[in-house]
């Protein structure tokens, strides 16, 4: 077996995001089951197609995510997954599963008349990219994935419990919302509150969950990022849907994503991983790389989980540049 492929940034790689850009098209697509998903397109309508898959699940896409793509080269599609961001209704967990999202992506691809596209996703976005690619490998030209999350029980357990060994203060605040007698089952204690219709119940729970994730997402403290996680609308979509997916093992098959890598082993991929990612630790990126002969990994030595940390941002821009000139 050939050794895993690793890449390094070159000194000439772009390090800053592209300028702000507005969509040239957007809309809502009814996907059934009472859900309507928001989508938009930016960049070059005649360019190479790329699909941005946001994290969470439930986080939603933002204007900053458009800026990873060279607008002269890429036709970029962004959408908010069921219950997230601008999609309607916010935070709805009914008829919200990984197979549902895969079907939504296919519906959107056909709606926009795209034959094949590059998938760009981080964290849960990497999970969904892998699941979609395994379901529809003939529709995927390449993948750029960051902060790998394979949806395994060990990864969810790390998020809920293991992070306390590195971020004890953040974890103490996360558990502190709950009475001591409920802290033995954090996931279900939070789910009960997040799904309570009373904003006085689900609001504080959503903010506590979301701030916990934001507080652990960067190598160095980043108060502005944490503040963005605490906004009520963003927090509710992220926390409620994330807890829903965690409780259902991310709606993945028993054998997990690594059990179906034979379907996509030929698809070229760039994996970008922060060495000190505490939300999605690097072991998952290495496990994925070992099963993906056409992939290579850039391990960013001075980054945590966030796509916007300087080293990770530069590595993602370089990965897209390589595929744009391939």
17-51 residue pLDDT tens: 999 999 999 999 999 999 999 999 999 999 999 99
Domain-located, residue 5: no
Show which of 192, 215, 248 is a domain's final residue.
Answer: 248
Mean confidence (pLDDT) of the chain: 94
Segment 210-264, tens digit of pLDDT: 999 999 999 998 788 767 776 767 899 999 999 999 999 999 999 999 999 999 9
Domain-located, residue 17: no
Distance separating alpha carbons of residues 281 and 159, to the nearest angstrom? 10
Segment 175-224, tens digit of pLDDT: 999 999 999 999 999 999 999 999 999 999 999 999 999 999 999 987 88
Pairing of strands 140-146, 74-79: unpaired
Query: Which position among 87, 210, 305, 306 bears the catalytic label?
Result: 305
Q: Is 262 annotated as catalytic?
A: no
Q: Given this model, what pLDDT does residue 2 score?
A: 46
Domain count, the chain: 2
Q: Three-state SS for 108?
A: helix
Q: Is 284 annotated as catalytic?
A: no
Distance separating alpha carbons of residues 158 and 124, to the nearest angstrom? 15
Distance separating alpha carbons of residues 95 and 119, to the nearest angstrom? 24
Domain-located, residue 265: yes
Show which of 198, 225, 248 is a domain's final residue.
Answer: 248
Q: Is 154 annotated as catalytic?
A: no
Query: Which position among 87, 97, 123, 217 bears the catalytic label?
Result: 123
Q: Given this model, what pLDDT does residue 10 score?
A: 42
Distance separating alpha carbons of residues 123 and 155, to the nearest angstrom? 11
Segment 76-116, tens digit of pLDDT: 999 999 999 999 999 999 999 999 999 999 999 999 999 99
Mean pLDDT of 288-303: 98
Q: Which domain holds residue 176?
A: 154-248
120-124, 163-167, 170-174, 220-224: range with lowest mean pLDDT: 220-224
Domain-located, residue 7: no
Query: Which position among 171, 202, 277, 284 bears the catalytic label?
Result: 277
Domain-located, residue 20: no
Question: Would you say the pTM of this structure is higher than 0.85?
Answer: yes
Same domain for 166 and 311, yes or no, is: no
Query: Does residue 236 contact residue 113 with C-beta atoms inside 8 Å?
Result: no
The DSSP letter of residue 244 is H
Kind plus residue range of the DSSP H or E element containing 135: helix 124-135
């Amino acid at each position: 077996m050939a050794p895993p492929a690793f890449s390094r940034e070159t000194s000439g790689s772009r390090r800053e995001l592209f300028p702000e850009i507005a969509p040239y098209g957007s809309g809502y697509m009814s996907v059934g089951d009472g859900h309507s998903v928001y989508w938009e397109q930016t960049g070059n309508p005649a360019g190479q197609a790329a699909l941005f898959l946001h994290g969470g699940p439930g986080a939603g896409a933002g204007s900053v995510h458009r800026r990873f793509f060279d607008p002269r080269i890429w036709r970029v599609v962004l959408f908010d997954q069921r219950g997230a961001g601008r999609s309607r209704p916010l935070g709805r967990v009914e008829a919200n599963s990984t197979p549902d999202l895969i079907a939504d992506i296919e519906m959107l691809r056909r709606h926009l008349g795209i034959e094949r596209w590059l998938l760009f996703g981080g964290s849960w976005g990497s999970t969904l990219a892998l699941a979609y690619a395994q379901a529809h490998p003939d529709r995927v030209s390449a993948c750029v994935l960051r902060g790998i999350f394979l949806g395994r029980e060990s990864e969810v357990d790390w998020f809920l419990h293991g992070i306390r060994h590195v971020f004890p203060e953040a974890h103490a605040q996360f558990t502190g919302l709950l009475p001591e007698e409920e802290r033995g089952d954090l996931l279900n204690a939070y789910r009960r509150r997040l799904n309570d219709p009373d904003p006085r119940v689900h609001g504080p729970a959503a903010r506590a969950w979301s701030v916990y994730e934001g507080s652990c997402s960067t190598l160095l403290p980043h108060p502005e990022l944490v503040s963005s996680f605490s906004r009520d609308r963003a927090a509710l979509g992220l926390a409620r849907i994330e807890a829903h997916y965690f409780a259902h093992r991310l709606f993945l098959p028993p054998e997990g994503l690594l059990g179906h890598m034979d379907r996509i082993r030929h698809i070229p991929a760039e994996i970008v991983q922060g060495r000190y990612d505490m939300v999605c630790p690097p072991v998952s990126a290495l496990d994925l790389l070992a099963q993906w002969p056409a992939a290579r990994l850039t391990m960013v030595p001075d980054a945590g989980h966030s796509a916007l940390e300087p080293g990770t941002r530069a590595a993602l821009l370089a990965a897209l540049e390589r595929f744009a000139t391939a």
